[in-house]
């Protein structure tokens, strides 16, 4: 079923200001469809999973196990690059393991999101992301669908045309990477992708 008009309006309402991921326990969706200079962005919304980790001693170990089990093996453990960048050939999954960070998504005309330990965020291919501020203890785990080797591109208009072609070929996840089955990806991404294909 395609999201209702009210749901789509809610998705598109997150357009200005700083968004705090912990404001709701349900997955949040952030539309960043419009290109920003040399950042292509994507018609698929960013999906934020607030407080997705139960009360455990080692959040990083929890994310590592969950991401791997759901087919998104972790690739790195660090802070997020302090400059706007994106991946044209893969979606990216972040798990916030400690502290907090303000991350700008969507390029300079995008949206600042405050993420805290235990939050996760699914970044569609092409959506810019940049760490702007963070606590001293902040670090995240970054993961990609099994078998994917992501490129890393910066805000560069000369690479936009090829990047957009790459983004069109990125496979759609079959299941939600956090639940491993039905979830925000199947409820939001799948209907939007189907609608886009039918409009061609």
Successive 10-residue mean pLDDT values, the chain, 200 residues: 34 42 76 96 97 96 98 97 98 98 97 98 98 98 96 96 96 96 96 79
Examine residue 152 and state whether it is found in any structural domain, yes or no.
Answer: yes
Residue 119 CB-density burial (10 A; 0-12 exposed, 13-18 middle, 19+ buried): buried
* pLDDT of the residue at 162: 96
* pLDDT of the residue at 200: 53
* pLDDT of the residue at 194: 87
Examine residue 107 and state whether it is found in any structural domain, yes or no.
Answer: yes
The number of distinct structural domains making up the chain is 1
Say if residues 67 and 93 touch (Cβ distance below 8 Å). Answer: yes
Say if residues 106 and 32 touch (Cβ distance below 8 Å). Answer: yes
Q: Could you report how far apart the first and last alpha carbons of the chain are, in Å?
A: 19
Strand partners, 123: 92
Instruction: Report how far residue 29's alpha carbon sits from residue 139's, in angstroms, rounded to the nearest whole number.
Output: 22
Examine residue 136 and state whether it is found in any structural domain, yes or no.
Answer: yes
* pLDDT of the residue at 15: 38
Q: What is the pTM of this model?
A: 0.88
* pLDDT of the residue at 82: 97
Examine residue 200 and state whether it is found in any structural domain, yes or no.
Answer: no
Query: For position 113, which CATH number holds?
Result: 2.60.120.10
Examine residue 199 and state whether it is found in any structural domain, yes or no.
Answer: no
Domain housing 93: 5-191
Separate counts of helices (H) and strands (E) for the chain: 5, 12
Say if residues 78 and 96 touch (Cβ distance below 8 Å). Answer: no
């Amino acid at each position: 079923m395609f999201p209702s008009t009210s749901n789509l309006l809610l998705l598109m309402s997150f357009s200005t200001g700083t968004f705090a991921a912990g404001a709701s326990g349900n997955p949040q969706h952030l539309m960043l469809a419009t290109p920003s200079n040399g950042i292509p962005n994507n018609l698929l919304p960013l999906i934020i999973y607030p407080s997705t980790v139960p009360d455990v001693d080692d959040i990083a170990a929890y994310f590592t196990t969950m991401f791997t089990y759901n087919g998104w093996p972790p690739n790195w453990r660090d802070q997020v690059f302090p400059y706007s960048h994106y991946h044209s050939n893969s979606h990216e999954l972040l798990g916030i393991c400690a502290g907090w960070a303000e991350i700008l998504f969507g390029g300079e005309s995008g949206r600042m999101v405050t993420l805290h330990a235990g939050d996760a965020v699914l970044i569609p291919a092409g959506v810019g992301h940049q760490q702007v501020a963070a606590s001293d203890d902040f670090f995240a785990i970054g993961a990609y669908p099994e078998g994917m080797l992501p490129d890393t591109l910066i805000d560069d208009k000369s690479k936009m045309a090829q990047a957009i072609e790459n983004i069109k070929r990125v496979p759609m996840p079959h299941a939600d990477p956090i639940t491993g089955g039905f979830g925000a990806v199947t409820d939001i991404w799948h209907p939007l992708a189907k609608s886009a294909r039918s409009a061609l």
